[in-house]
Amino acid sequence: MLKRKRLLFAIAAILPTLAIFFWVRIIPIGEILRLSVHKWDLLSRNKPFIGLENFRELFADHLFWEALRNTSIIAFGVLLLTIPTAMVISALIYHRTKSRFAGFYETSVFIPHVASLVPAAMAWKWIFDARLGPLNAFLGMFGIQPQAWLFDPTLSLISIIILCSWQALGYAVIIYLVGFKNLPNSLFEAARLDGASAPQSFWFISMPMLKPITLYVSVVTLVSAFNVYAQVFVLASDAQGAPGRQVRVLVLDMLENAFRNYRVGYAASEAVVLLAIVLVLTFIQFTLLREKGARS
């Protein structure tokens, strides 16, 4: 009887959260799936069913492929830049835990993650400015010619990767720090007695033992980077006055199709593709973590 009451209480307690989750997450996803097989211009009452026509057109659309290519480059670029950097920075901070500046180090790295995105991106826009930006001024000190960071097709992608990584780094470092603090000290002491140097301890002990953390941070960073939009919008948006070369990413392409081209069904099919990518990445995460759990 008591067990049943506890079960009912648990259900009652979780029900509001589930209801909200269902309302704001599941229903929209269902609606996106439904819209992706319909033709709808946002304004019309008619939404004719067109099967997979949106997907057929999508996979023949060079702008979609451009958006997917750019998004993937940004996402994996952010991943490749963020993870090793975060691991090294967190190792340095961890080994300076007793320093009176430890709190300062952690805060400085974490601030970009909590800073408001738009002002931060505006600041980076100035940094990347071809004529007046400090980045080109700095490079000029080494005799490097000024670069059109926000206009060159390759450099504009690199600029966005740098901005996104700068923002993602703080979160990754904090998670890694938690991981470092949970590593058994005895292993490092044993390694030191065996004559291992600090880099060797890092490479042969810390890195393998932080694998679950690395997996988690990798997937969170990758999924978040696949949803990149605001950074691109601010750095290279469509405001008048030539602010930069527009870097087409999936979310931006979706918004353009839905609210500028009035093609909601088509945009929904893009959203389904993005959803599929994110699901695959999440599946990979779960699979790898489960394998790890099974082995342990």
Partner 1 sequence: MEGKTTMSINKNAILRAGINRSAVLGSVAAGVMMAGISGAFAQTVTVWSGYPELAPFYEHVAEGFRETHPGVTIDVQAIPLREHERRVALGLSSGSAGAVVVELNSATASRYIENELFNQALEGVADFVQDSENFGEFFVDAVSYDGTVYGVPLFRGQSALFYNLDMFEEAGLDGPPQTMEEYTEYAKALTKRDDSGNIDVTGWSLRLSGGGQGIAEKFWINMFQFDGGMMIEEVTPGKFRINLNNEAGRAALGQYLDNIHIEKTVAVESPADAEAFEREQTAMFIRESWVIGDIAAKAPDLNYATAPLPYGAIGLPANLYVSAEGEAEQAAWDYIQATNDPENLVWLLENVGWLPNRHNVDYSPVTEAEPAFAAFVDYPEGYAFFTLPALAPIEEVLTRIAAQLVNAFAASQLAGDEEAIGNFLQAAEDEANQILRREGLLAE
Taking alpha carbons only, the member of 185, 175, 179 closest to residue 208 is: 179
**Minimum gap (Å) between residue 267 Cβ and partner 1:** 12
Comparing CB distances to partner 1, the nearer of 46 and 185 is 46
Taking alpha carbons only, the member of 262, 261, 276 closest to residue 47 is: 262
**Minimum gap (Å) between residue 73 Cβ and partner 1:** 17
C-alpha–C-alpha distance, residues 32 and 163, integer Å: 30
Comparing CB distances to partner 1, the nearer of 70 and 165 is 70
C-alpha–C-alpha distance, residues 222 and 215, integer Å: 10
Comparing CB distances to partner 1, the nearer of 182 and 261 is 261
| 8 Å CB contact between 250 and 67 | yes
**Minimum gap (Å) between residue 159 Cβ and partner 1:** 12
By the criterion CB under 8 A, which residues form the site for partner 1?
A: 41-45, 57, 63, 130-131, 146, 148, 150-151, 153, 236-246, 248, 255-256, 259-263
Handedness of CA 186, 107, 124, 167 (dihedral sign): positive
Taking alpha carbons only, the member of 284, 162, 291, 121 closest to residue 218 is: 284
**Minimum gap (Å) between residue 130 Cβ and partner 1:** 4
**Minimum gap (Å) between residue 162 Cβ and partner 1:** 18
Comparing CB distances to partner 1, the nearer of 1 and 242 is 242
Comparing CB distances to partner 1, the nearer of 106 and 129 is 129
Comparing CB distances to partner 1, the nearer of 44 and 107 is 44
| 8 Å CB contact between 260 and 251 | no
**Minimum gap (Å) between residue 59 Cβ and partner 1:** 15
Q: What angle do CA 12, 18, 22 make, to 5 degrees?
A: 145
